[in-house]
Homo-oligomer: A and B are copies of this chain.
Amino acid sequence: MSYASRYFPNEPTAPKVVTESIPGPKGKSAIASLGEVFDNRCAYFVADYEKSVGNYIVDVDGNVLLDAYAQIASIPLGYNNPKLIEVAKSDKMTRAIVNRPALGNFPGADFEQMQRDLLKHAPKGQTHVWNGLSGADANELAFKAVFFNYQSKKRGFDKPFTKEEEVSCMENMAPGNPEIAILSFKKAFHGRLFASGSVTRSKPVHKMDMPSFAWPTAEFPAYKYPLEENEEANMAEDARCLAIVEDRLQNWKCPIAGVIVEPVQSEGGDNHASAAFFQGLRDLTLKYGAKLIIDEVQAGCGATGIMWDHERYNITPPPDLVTFSKKMQSAGYWFHDPELIPNQPYRQFNTWCGDPKGVILAAAICDEVVDNNLLEPLRETGDYFYSKLESIQKQYPKLISNLRGKGKACFLAFDMPSGSLRADFLGKMKLAGVNVGGCADVGVRLRPGLTFEKKHVDIFIAAMEKVLPTL
């Protein structure tokens, strides 16, 4: 019996759309009234999380949608998962909620075990974790670790700060606050605070009007599809992009202490790269003394059919830092080199230093994935999904192109001819009972939870077959 059948006996067998538009009348009224207390301009609909179950999200109008977007790829195990409800109701969670500690100063007796439970699920080659609160936070904490390491190595790990450094950093000036950079890729998305925003390169609306650090970009490979038919061109593309990275590492106006990259650029359009590209990047970072940070915020936690997507590339040696959030319902960065623990206490520090609630949840989610062997059926579901989409792509070559993500479970995407057709498609898919999201200008990205099964794929495909002829 499948996980969804066992855990969600009451999961609907099909979507049900009861209003002529989504949101329907109740949803429209709920959005309007929400607008008095919250920015409602991005609300697709108002959900009823009490009634949502498994792979189905229910809205306040009573519409029941198959959810292949899962809260921007952040719900791992379906709505109202009974195992997570058990964890949420546990005394351990209650204590974590009502006695949130300043973990750095007054860790609780149960915190060590929580960390160990989480560390069991570290990416291959990673042995440590530092806890944060969101993907942007995790990336910025990783940057701090990288900058501290770079400057401490330059200064000598056992050397104290100089007087000049101490005085200048209080004025936000060098040498205490050095000019030093993180390299990122065009179309990357790593968050929307100020340093994370500086490495994000997805859309102007994500970056406009914010002061930023003048850090360098390189180009992420833009492959031709299908991959099998374009091997030579795509290898040349890898080489072209790596040459740009090397140029930046050699010639940028200030030292580049780290390179951050997503294993799949998700917000930026579901852009994939080859094992050779990632290994080339690893080699270059080693050659030029920069740390390699892999941002697994969206692709990690099982989404691509293995626990951490970059593991499939056997990057050697493993990346220096790996960040996580979203499906982990928590955030932080994994690492393995003890030199990335700052050479003095209170450098990587803040009041909460993470959140035991999040650590408990993240460990419970990963345990659930492993204990139920969820990723093997997910990979099968993904292969099935891909083959169905491949047929549709052949059937509708003017509407669907660049199907990508093969072998990465349900972490699939395709392009549509224009942003307006894409918007039309997404809206009509909702009315056909399926919630699905876009990425970049014309992409459609499939981001269901880890509990998605072939029966859900069939429903998704049936909805597409209904919608595409109407576009």
Interface residues of A, Cβ cutoff 8 Å to B: 30, 33-34, 37-50, 52, 57, 60, 71-72, 74-75, 79-81, 84-85, 87-89, 93-95, 97-112, 115-116, 119, 128-130, 133-137, 140, 143-144, 147-148, 150-152, 161, 165-166, 169-173, 176-181, 186, 191-195, 198, 201, 204-215, 217, 325-326, 329, 341, 344-352, 357, 361
Contact = CB atoms under 8 A, between A and B. Distances in A.
A212 B135 CA distance: 20
Contacts of A170: 186, 201, 204, 207
A34 to B, nearest CB: 5
A445 to B, nearest CB: 14
A342 B207 CA distance: 13
Nearest to A209: B151
A209 B350 contact: no
Given A95-B50, A169-B207, A329-B100, A349 B194 contact: no
30 contacts: A39-B130, A39-B345, A40-B107, A42-B104, A47-B101, A47-B109, A49-B109, A71-B105, A74-B102, A93-B97, A97-B361, A133-B133, A133-B134, A133-B137, A134-B350, A134-B351, A137-B193, A148-B208, A148-B209, A161-B208, A165-B204, A165-B208, A169-B209, A169-B210, A172-B198, A172-B213, A173-B214, A177-B209, A193-B195, A326-B351
A107 B34 contact: yes
Contact of A99 (B75, B193, B215): B75
Given A38-B107, A89-B94, A169-B210, 8 more contacts: A34-B107, A37-B112, A37-B116, A37-B119, A71-B102, A148-B209, A177-B208, A326-B351
B38 A103 contact: yes
Given A148-B209, A165-B208, A204-B161, A349 B109 contact: no
A294 B44 CA distance: 33
A325 B349 CA distance: 16
Contacts of A214: 172-173
B176 A208 contact: yes
A177 B212 CA distance: 6
A272 B213 CA distance: 33
B81 A88 contact: no
Nearest to A53: B99
Query: For the complex, would chain A's binding face be called helix, strand, loop or mixed by DSSP majority?
Result: loop
Nearest to A35: B112
Given A104-B43, A105-B72, A107-B47, A205 B347 contact: yes
A194 B191 contact: no
Nearest to A254: B211
A39 to B, nearest CB: 6
B106 A39 contact: no
Contacts of A109: 30, 46-50, 60
Name which of A105, A147, A341, A344 has the most chain B CB atoms within 10 A of its CB: A105
B128 A74 contact: no
Name which of A47, A179, A198 has the most chain B CB atoms within 10 A of its CB: A47
Contacts of A211: 147, 177-181, 195, 213
A151 B205 CA distance: 13
A351 B71 CA distance: 8
A177 B34 contact: no
Contacts of A346: 41-42, 205-206
Given A213-B211, A326-B351, A194 B192 contact: no
Given A37-B128, A192-B349, A345-B42, A49 B101 contact: yes
Nearest to A215: B172
Contact of A85 (B98, B209, B212): B98
